[in-house]
Chains A and B, each alone.
Chain A
């Protein structure tokens, strides 16, 4: 029961705190793409890969009081912070879900900005295309974010680094 929820709780446990819904979405997508066993279904949306299932699971975890959500005003918009609660820790221990290397991988991603993770997840979304085609997709679909060629190259390097850490 709640196996998929427990996997997400493992992410919050590893990160201590995740700041931002967008960041969380991209972290889980990237983790799934580099072969961690997350089952949430993602689709491409205006801001890159997005999973409604993931959003709903996070809401359920909040309702169950397994994670704590803090909404704070940041200039003209709201930002959300997520942490695991004591009840959540107890459930996680009961669920005994252990995914090798997940802790280190998500903790590493949590140090990156949401903007960079959006780029990394978009590069991964188009992983069947050539590098040139991916760059073209990013320059057209994400033109408002004004990503540079250097940033795209950085995203590729980062993906390699994440994959190498798993070996």
Chain B
């Protein structure tokens, strides 16, 4: 039997708190799960620093990737299997792309990518096409298969229906992470009727669409997404932890450029600091390694690096105030000057943060061909954009909500043992 069709003698199952069971019959999928590049995802948290706000949020990209695979498996095996618009030959491609869609993520990847100007999608592509165990498994299917999987994940594959299963405004990726993140954070938002959504999905040439009768299930999903963004993903305390993390990485990079004599040299970061992106080095970096450095750098002589690491390790985060940049940008310049006078480097200790810096998005109705929207399949056979039919979706997709905060170490500003008057001025401006 061809490798692409080979099945395990007995179905393997992973117990999962969100989907109950994740079922694996295909040998290719089983082999991919066993590769070292996929196992690495166990050591990368799905929600980065969110565990410092919601202590349960320790789940990994490994569990999420299995979840996305399981949702796609159910779509292609149960929902699409007998539909004439679905080509069964795309089944394995869809499953592999679902399983591997996050394989290029680095540790605390949002901050990490921002500081080092990296793109996890480029690493995903390199892991799939390079000399890796994953590539060896995929190449056994056929020579061109790794490229096809990489193109689906990169959204440049010609089969847009398969792409939309993994990446669209209502895809298996979001369906899994919303439910999984809700479960592990313990919040009551994020739940929706996925069974119903799967039942009303229909394959079309360019994307998945939803039967008109399932509109309320889609509305429920959009509302969950909206609530999760504001309650979990944009949480100001999580953002404070991200701010610290970003500043630690900036500081370490800067010290390295200045040839600072590290007591604990950043061996794992050298190629990244020099912007030489070597896949083998990247794969060695995971969150356990990063946290090791943060732990030992508390003992570095550089006061900024050691202080920032101490804060991160002990969750002594920066405090924040709401900040309206349009009205208060001059105030920011004034604060920067006062921080310098107080001997507190504003580059590291006065941080402005906007919601546009975060890697999450809202539903967009796709006006002016920006993004492909969610379409409802009407009883007449016509396709209608969701917000044109749903008042609820129309109400929240038209609202523009943005958020800006200013982060600072309140303890340093209330320590009156030095520069008392300047710190008093700062506190007065910040109204703390």
Interface residues of chain A, those whose CB is within 8 Å of chain B, are 1-2, 20-22, 25, 39, 41, 43-47, 50, 52-53, 55-57, 59-60, 62-66, 77-80, 87, 91, 94, 125-126, 137, 140-141
Q: Which residue of A lies closest to B404 (CB)?
A: A60
Residues of chain B contacted by A2 (CB below 8 angstroms): 325, 329, 352, 354
Residues of B within 8 Å of A, CB-based: how many?
33
Q: Which of B268-313 contact A (CB under 8 A)?
A: none
Judged by a CB distance under 8 angstroms, whether B422 is at the interface is no
CA distance A140 to B367 in the complex (A): 23
Within the complex, which residue of B113, B206, B367 is in contact with A77, where a contact is CB–CB below 8 Å? Answer: B367
Q: Do A21 and B368 touch (CB < 8 A)? A: yes
Q: Is the CB of B326 within 8 A of A56?
A: no
In the complex, identify which listed stretch (B55-63, B96-104, B150-158, B187-195) lies at the interface while the others stay far away. Answer: B150-158
Q: Which residues of A contact B361 (CB under 8 A)?
A: 52, 55-56
- A55 and B364 in contact, given A21-B370, A46-B372, A140-B158 (Cβ under 8 angstroms): yes
Smallest distance from the beta carbon of B30 to chain A beta carbons, Å?
A: 30
Whether A50 lies near B371 (C-beta < 8 A) is: yes
Say yes or no: A44 contacts B367, CB within 8 Å. Answer: no
Instruction: Report Cα–Cα, A73/B370, bound state, in Å.
Output: 16
Is B119 in contact with chain A by the CB < 8 A criterion? yes
8 residue pairs of the A-B complex, CB under 8 angstroms, read A2-B329, A41-B119, A60-B355, A62-B400, A63-B400, A63-B402, A77-B368, A87-B326
In the bound complex, CA of A52 to CA of B357 (Å):
10
Give the nearest-CB partner of A47 in chain B. Answer: B369
B220: chain A residues at CB < 8 Å are: none
How far, in Å, is A90 (CB) from chain B's closest CB? 9
Bound Cα distance from A151 to B188, whole angstroms: 52
Bound CA span A140–B158, Å: 6
Q: Which residues of B contact A (CB under 8 A)?
A: 113, 117, 119, 121, 154-156, 158, 160, 206, 324-326, 329-330, 332-333, 352, 354-357, 361, 364, 367-372, 400, 402, 404
CB distance from A42 to the nearest CB of B (A): 9
Q: Give the distance in Å from the alpha carbon of A125 to the alpha carbon of B117 in the complex.
A: 17
Residues of B within 8 A of A87 (CB): 326
One of A50, A60, A91, A126 near B402 (C-beta < 8 A): A60
Main secondary structure of the interface of B (DSSP, over half): mixed
Q: Is B372 a contact of A45 with CB atoms below 8 Å?
A: yes
* A-B contacts besides A53-B356, A56-B361, A125-B156, 15 pairs, CB < 8 Å: A1-B325, A1-B332, A2-B352, A20-B368, A22-B370, A43-B121, A45-B372, A46-B371, A47-B372, A60-B355, A62-B400, A77-B368, A80-B367, A80-B368, A126-B156
A78 touches B364 (CB 8 A): no
Q: With A22-B368, A50-B371, A141-B158 as known contacts, state yes or no: A66 contacts B326, CB within 8 Å.
A: yes
8 Å CB contact of B155 from A25, A45, A56, A126: A45
Q: How far is the CA of A21 from the CA of B369 in the complex (A)?
A: 8
CB distance A44 to B326 under 8 Å? Answer: no
What is the bound-complex CA distance between A91 and B324, given in angstroms?
13
Please tell me if the beta carbons of B156 and A44 are within 8 angstroms of each other in the complex.
yes
Closest 4 CB pairs of A and B: A56-B356, A64-B326, A46-B372, A140-B158
Instruction: Let me know if B330 and A59 touch, CB within 8 A.
Output: no
Contact pick for A43, options B155, B325, B329, B404, CB 8 Å: B155
Does A64 contact B325, Cβ atoms closer than 8 Å?
yes
Given contacts A2-B352, A55-B364, A59-B402, contact A22 B369 (CB under 8 A): yes
Alpha-carbon gap, A53 to B359, bound state (A): 8
Chain A: CB-nearest residue to B157: A141
In the bound complex, residues from chain A placing their C-beta under 8 Å from that of B326 are 63-66, 87, 91
